[in-house]
Amino acid sequence: MRTFKLQVQTTVDGYMAGPGGGMDWMTFPWTDDVSAYIDALTKPVDCIVLGRKLAEGFIPAWESGPEGEDQESIDWMNNTPKVVISNSLTESPWKNATVAGGDLAATIRELKARPGGDMIAYGGGTLVSNLIAEGLLDELHLFVNPVAIGAGMPVFPDGRQQLRLVAARPFGCGITAMHFEPQRP
């Protein structure tokens, strides 16, 4: 069975977005050590899972070849197949992306049962909270930015989550990658 990972940036107080969805707290530059970590994390990945709202900005942004990104990352993002989780879309308006709706747990279990490499979820907030609540993730990679914002969209909106710390890696820019696995009964 494929490994399903979550990669998300967060504040030290556990928010992945500020009030109203603001991301202005992400001011720490990605340094070479962060890029190397991300490369290792995504190397075995051959499927990206996104929520519809995030996909609407994420996919077109990468298709445009964002300034400041290296061509290898742009190519990987554009060439890796994507599954957009949505109950409002019936077909994908994007290249190299399919839409999956209905029961989230059944959809993810079916994707994980397919042959292939790892899968990675990038969010947004509704998808992330539902994946966590349903216990569908095998690994959580939280990129903790050294800033507290006090309110916003929490990574864990439903409260208590039992996790096991696998590794913590601080980077030169101040961000720390926290690799967790869920504790399952």
Query: What are the phi and psi torsion angles at 127 (to 5°)?
Result: -60, -50
State the pLDDT at residue 124.
79
User: What's the chain's length in residues?
Assistant: 185
pLDDT of 48: 96
| Three-class DSSP category at 7 | strand
What CATH number has the domain bearing residue 36? 3.40.430.10
Q: What is the pLDDT of residues 7-26, one digit of tens each?
A: 999 999 999 999 888 888 98
Strand order in the sheet with 176-182: 97-100, 82-85, 45-51, 118-123, 4-11, 139-145, 176-182, 163-170
Mean pLDDT of 17-41: 89
pLDDT surpassing 90 at residue 170: yes
Average pLDDT over residues 60-88: 91
Counting the structural domains of the chain, the total is 1
Predicted confidence (pLDDT) per residue in 118-143, tens digit: 999 997 788 998 999 899 999 999 99
Residue 185 has pLDDT above 90, yes or no: no
Percent of the chain with pLDDT over 90: 64
Q: Write out the residue range of the structural domain in which residue 22 sits.
A: 4-182
pLDDT at 166 over 80: yes
